[in-house]
């Protein structure tokens, strides 16, 4: 499973939407799958078996955060996993294009880090395409730093950065 993202330039909307009220966050629910799959397809260019989301959620339900619109439909999500003791990993993280730049990503990351702290994790890791400068800047502002270069990490041959931050 790889955190795959489009190049940053294409990921930014030309005109950010008007300032939005903070979005409520909640846990993943099975009816979210079509909405989340649509975000994954557009933002991460991936198509996973729909059952994947439920099975990953079952392992650590609190690590799967969903931001919703006024109709409770997903507008962004962060799927975190705990595969290494005392360590969280951001497996998938994306916000619907029209909602980017309105604070949804920050809300999701803040909440995820808080949940990692509650579980007394010592570190959070993630992978990102080297071309995804927007996401890398976002992560750098969250004190993630590059700990490794992952050569040909992505299926199209692009290198990835392994990033981590302490808690």
Ligand X SMILES: CC(C)(COP(=O)(O)OP(=O)(O)OC[C@H]1O[C@@H](n2cnc3c(N)ncnc32)[C@H](O)[C@@H]1OP(=O)(O)O)[C@@H](O)C(=O)NCCC(=O)NCCS
Residues that bind ligand X (CB under 6 A): 3, 5, 11, 16, 19, 43-44, 76, 93-95, 100-106, 128, 132, 134-135, 137-138, 141
Place of tokens 């989340």: 36
Nearest residue (CB) to ligand X, 16 versus 34: 16
CB nearer ligand X, residue 120 or residue 156: 156
| Cα first-last separation, the chain | 24
Half-sphere exposure of 56 (CA within 13 A, CB side): 23
* Rounded least distance, CB 101 to ligand X, Å: 4
* Nearest residue (CB) to ligand X, 54 versus 103: 103
Q: Supply the minimum distance, in Å, between the C-beta of residue 122 and ligand X.
A: 21
Looking at the Cβ atoms of 41 and 51, the one nearer to ligand X is: 41
Smallest gap from Cβ 141 to ligand X, in A, equals: 5
- Alpha-carbon distance of 113 to 121, in angstroms, equals 9
Rounded to an integer, what distance in angstroms lies between the CA atom of residue 133 and that of residue 36?
A: 23
User: Strand (E) positions, 28-144?
Assistant: 64-68, 74-84, 87-95, 123-129
Q: How far is the CB of 148 from ligand X (least distance, A)?
A: 15
């Amino acid at each position: 499973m790889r955190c795959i993202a489009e190049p940053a330039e294409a990921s930014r909307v030309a005109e950010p939407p008007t300032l939005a009220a903070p979005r409520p966050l909640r846990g993943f629910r099975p009816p979210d799958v079509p909405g989340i799959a649509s975000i994954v397809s557009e933002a991460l260019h991936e198509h996973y078996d729909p059952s994947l989301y439920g099975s990953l959620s079952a392992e650590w339900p609190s690590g799967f955060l969903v931001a919703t619109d006024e109709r409770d439909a997903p507008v962004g999500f962060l799927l975190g996993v705990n595969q290494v003791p005392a360590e969280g990993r951001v497996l998938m993280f994306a916000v619907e294009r029209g909602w980017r730049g309105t604070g949804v990503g920050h809300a999701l990351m803040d909440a995820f880090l808080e949940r990692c702290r509650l579980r007394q994790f010592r570190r959070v890791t993630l992978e990102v395409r080297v071309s995804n400068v927007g996401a890398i800047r976002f992560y750098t502002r969250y004190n993630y730093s590059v700990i490794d270069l992952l050569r040909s990490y992505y299926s199209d041959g692009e290198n990835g950065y392994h990033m981590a931050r302490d808690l």
